[in-house]
Amino acid sequence: MTKENESTAMVQVNNEKNVPINCFGTLAGFEAGQRIANMFSQSSLVPANFKGDIGACLIALNMANRMGADPLQVMQSLYIVHGKPSFSSTFLIACFNRCGRFSTIRYRMEGEKGSDDWGCTAYSTELATGEVVEGVTVTIGMAKAEGWWSKKDRNGKETSKWQTMPELMLRYRAATFLIRSVAPDIALGFPTTEEAIDITDKVQVLDNDGRPTSLAEVAAQAAVNEAEEVEPAPEVVEAEEVNPADKAQDFTSKYFKEHKMGESNEQ
């Protein structure tokens, strides 16, 4: 191979490395995506939700291509909350910071710490215009009004992270609002894990005794009830009694009839 051909081949290889795989756009891309997804599904490094599931790995690969992220990073940051996929807040913040369109997210704390007015505003600078963009200010009062502040399990134990680490939760929610306001394409319409937990746990229905319960508890109880259901025993149909002599006569008549037809065909 000449130096000119070698240089051309190297350029082609480099170009192929920079081109993302369109998993669902072409047949060739779908086949290539399946091979990569199969490799991920057999790896011990992927989360349990993706092990042995080629379809889930292929979807995660497609999402990574659209977001310009590493496939393994997407799999490690994708969580299933009550049956719905969601991204961790830290992952979306990282995607925003490295997208190349905005500066790193900054935070401005406001109000008196510990009061309902204590809040956080996330802001950034659009690199193309130099304009400072801000998200919605999130306060403790907002968290209480929206039902994020208090979460209790069946035993009445408090499980909300808003009470144990309020400043971190304020920053996460403020950053999420900023991303959804100025760059919604980064999240691809998916909620953050914290949003999915807060929103889903807020929805309540009444059980059979008229007591409020969360959708998660309803789903869990439904699964238990389904597992405990006993399938009805199949109906037993008594076979009609057949006289052995009649059965033998029918078989003999059928045999000679077929034999006679076979001889007629040969003639």
For 197-242, how does the pLDDT look when each residue is reduced to its tens digit (9 = 90+)? 777 544 443 344 444 444 444 444 444 444 444 444 445 455 455 5
State the pLDDT at residue 15: 45
CB-side neighbour CA atoms (13 Å) of 213: 16
Q: Choose the weakest-confidence range: 54-63, 116-125, 211-220.
A: 211-220
Q: Model confidence over 174-184: pLDDT tens digits?
A: 999 999 999 98
Per-residue pLDDT band at 73 (split at 50, 70, 90): confident
Provide φ and ψ at 232, rounded to 5°: -65, 145
Nearest 10 degrees: Cα torsion 212, 215, 146, 143: 110
Measured over the CA atoms of residue 176, residue 121, residue 194 and residue 69, the dihedral's sign is: positive
The alpha carbon of residue 86 and the mean position of all alpha carbons in its chain are separated, in whole angstroms, by: 6
Provide φ and ψ at 13, rounded to 5°: -65, -45
The residue ranking higher by pLDDT, 117 or 230, is 117
- CA-to-CA distance for 258 and 261, rounded, in angstroms? 5
Q: Model confidence over 149-191: pLDDT tens digits?
A: 988 878 888 888 899 999 999 999 999 999 999 998 888 888 8
Whether 103 has a pLDDT exceeding 90, the answer reads yes
State the pLDDT at residue 14: 44
Residue with tokens 């989360």: 47
Token pair for residue 64? 């990574």
In sequence order, the 6+-apart residues with CB closer than 8 A to the CB of 79 are: 85, 86, 87, 88, 193, 196
Beta strands in 10-89 (DSSP E): 78-81, 84-87
- CA-to-CA distance for 14 and 32, rounded, in angstroms? 18
Provide φ and ψ at 124, rounded to 5°: -155, 175
Token pair for residue 234? 């199949």
State the pLDDT at residue 144: 93
> pTM of the entire structure?
0.60
